[in-house]
C-alpha cells in the first residue's frame, strides 16, 4: 500500500460512498476516465478487485469494504490533525458534525449563531432526525456530537445535560378543554390523539406516561414530524403531546394552545453525548464546552423567551 497515493484513496472513498464513478468524478471535479484510471491503479496495488458490477449497479467487494473502512479512519485522522494544527496556530477551524433529535432543531440553530460568529473558521453540518435514527448514527460513529433527550442505557457514552426540554399537551386554541384547568390525565383518553412515528423519543415518553397510569389513548393519526402534528392540531384533528420548544416562533396569535393537564409538563432534558472512548476534535470539544457553559443562557435570551410558558 505504500505505493498508493492519498489522491487515489480520496477518489476510491468518494466512489465507494456514492457507489458510482460518475458521481465521484462530479464531486471531485475530475473526469470519469480519470476516476477509472485511479481506481484501476489502486486495485493493482491492492492486488484484489475493489468493486464489482452487478447489472447496472456498482458494489464494493470484501476487499473494497475493508479499504473503505480504512479510508474513513484515515481521513478522519487527517482532519483531526488539521484541526489540532489550526488550534496550535491559535485558530479554531475545521468541521463540526452534529446530529440532533427533531425537538432540538428549534433551539440548536440559535445556539450555533453566536458560536459560528465567534469561530468563523468552523463549518457546521447539522443532521436532524428522530431518536432511533440518531442512535444508529451514534453506533456507526458518523458524527462528532449528538443531542437527544433519552440517553441510551446500553451503550458506553459520555453524556451531559445542558437544557430543559419539557413535554406539554397541545390542542387547538378553540378546543373545549382550552379554558379548563387541572384537567385529569384520564380525560385525555376521550380525545382523538395525534402521535409521532415509531422510533420517536417523544412517542416513547408519552407512551410510558400513559402505560404507567394504565390509560389507553385513542390514536387517530400518526405523523412523522412535529410541524405536521402542529398543523393537524390547528386543523382540529386532535390533541398531542410535544416538546414545548416546538412552539418557538408561533407568536401570540398561534392557533395552538397548551392544556393545563395534571402531571404535565413532563420534565425532560437535552443531553449532549458522544461515545465514551471517542477522541473529540478540537472543534467538537470547543462546541461541547460552549454548550455546557453558555448554551442555556443563550437559549433563554433568544428562542425560549418567545415561547408561551405552560400553565403552572
Contact residues for ligand PGA, defined by CB under 6 A: 101-103, 130-131, 148-150, 165, 196, 200-202, 243
Cα-based angle 6, 18, 81 (whole degrees, multiple of 5): 35
- In the complex with ligand PGA, the residue whose CB is nearer, 175 or 196, is 196
- In the complex with ligand PGA, the residue whose CB is nearer, 22 or 207, is 207
- In the complex with ligand PGA, the residue whose CB is nearer, 43 or 149, is 149
Tell me if 129 sits within 8 A of 195, measured CB to CB.
no
Cell of 151: 440517553
Name the minimum Å distance from CB 139 to ligand PGA.
16
- In the complex with ligand PGA, the residue whose CB is nearer, 197 or 262, is 197
Name the minimum Å distance from CB 149 to ligand PGA.
3
The CB-nearest residue to ligand PGA is 201
Distance, C-alpha 219 to centroid of its chain:
26
Single out the residue of 2, 30, 3 nearest to residue 14, CA to CA. Answer: 30
- In the complex with ligand PGA, the residue whose CB is nearer, 21 or 162, is 162
Name the minimum Å distance from CB 131 to ligand PGA.
3
Please report, to the nearest 10 degrees, the dihedral formed by the alpha carbons of residues 181, 184, 185, 188 taken in order: -70
- 52: CB partners within 8 A, 6+ apart: 58, 59, 60, 61
Fill in the DSSP letter of residue 132: H
Name the minimum Å distance from CB 286 to ligand PGA.
25
Measured distance CA(68)–CA(60) in Å, rounded = 9
Name the minimum Å distance from CB 251 to ligand PGA.
22
Please provide residue 271's backbone torsions phi and psi, each rounded to the nearest 5 degrees.
-120, 145
Measured distance CA(256)–CA(173) in Å, rounded = 5
Name the minimum Å distance from CB 10 to ligand PGA.
35
- In the complex with ligand PGA, the residue whose CB is nearer, 201 or 295, is 201
- In the complex with ligand PGA, the residue whose CB is nearer, 130 or 240, is 130
- In the complex with ligand PGA, the residue whose CB is nearer, 94 or 201, is 201
Long-range contacts of 226-234 (CB under 8 A, 24+ apart): 226/102, 226/103, 226/196, 226/202, 229/194, 229/196, 230/170, 230/256, 232/194, 233/170, 233/171, 233/172, 233/194, 234/172
Name the minimum Å distance from CB 122 to ligand PGA.
25
Please report, to the nearest 10 degrees, the dihedral formed by the alpha carbons of residues 271, 277, 283, 287 taken in order: 20
Name the minimum Å distance from CB 41 to ligand PGA.
45
Measured distance CA(176)–CA(279) in Å, rounded = 53
Name the minimum Å distance from CB 90 to ligand PGA.
37
- In the complex with ligand PGA, the residue whose CB is nearer, 9 or 258, is 258
Distance, C-alpha 95 to centroid of its chain:
16
Amino acid at each position: 500500500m505504500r505505493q498508493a497515493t492519498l489522491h487515489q484513496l480520496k477518489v476510491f472513498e468518494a466512489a465507494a460512498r456514492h457507489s458510482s464513478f460518475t458521481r465521484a468524478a462530479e464531486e471531485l471535479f475530475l473526469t470519469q476516465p480519470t476516476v477509472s484510471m485511479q481506481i484501476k491503479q489502486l486495485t493493482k496495488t491492492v492486488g484484489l478487485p475493489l468493486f464489482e458490477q452487478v447489472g447496472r449497479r456498482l458494489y464494493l467487494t470484501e476487499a473494497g469494504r475493508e479499504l473503505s473502512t480504512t479510508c474513513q479512519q484515515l481521513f478522519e485522522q487527517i482532519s483531526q490533525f488539521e484541526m489540532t494544527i489550526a488550534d496550535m496556530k491559535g485558530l479554531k477551524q475545521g468541521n463540526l458534525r452534529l446530529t440532533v433529535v427533531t425537538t432540538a432543531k428549534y433551539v440548536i440553530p440559535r445556539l450555533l449563531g453566536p458560536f459560528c460568529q465567534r469561530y468563523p473558521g468552523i463549518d457546521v453540518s447539522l443532521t436532524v432526525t428522530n431518536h432511533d435514527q440518531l442512535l444508529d448514527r451514534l453506533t456507526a460513529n458518523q458524527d462528532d456530537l449528538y443531542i437527544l433527550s433519552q440517553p441510551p442505557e446500553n451503550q458506553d457514552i459520555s453524556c451531559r445535560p445542558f437544557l430543559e426540554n419539557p413535554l406539554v399537551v397541545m390542542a387547538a386554541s378553540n378546543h373545549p378543554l382550552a379554558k379548563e384547568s387541572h384537567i385529569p390525565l384520564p380525560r385525555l383518553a376521550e380525545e382523538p390523539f395525534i402521535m409521532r412515528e415509531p422510533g420517536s423519543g417523544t412517542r416513547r415518553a408519552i407512551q410510558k406516561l400513559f402505560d404507567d397510569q394504565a390509560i389507553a389513548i385513542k390514536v387517530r393519526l400518526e405523523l412523522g414530524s412535529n410541524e405536521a402534528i402542529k398543523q393537524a392540531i390547528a386543523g382540529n384533528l386532535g390533541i398531542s403531546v410535544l416538546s414545548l420548544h416546538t412552539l418557538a416562533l408561533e407568536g401570540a396569535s398561534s392557533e395552538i394552545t397548551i392544556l393545563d393537564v395534571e402531571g404535565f409538563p413532563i420534565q425532560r432534558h437535552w443531553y449532549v453525548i458522544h461515545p465514551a472512548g471517542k477522541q473529540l476534535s478540537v472543534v467538537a470539544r470547543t462546541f461541547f464546552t460552549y454548550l455546557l457553559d453558555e448554551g442555556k443562557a443563550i437559549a433563554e435570551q433568544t428562542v425560549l423567551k418567545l415561547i408561551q410558558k405552560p400553565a403552572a
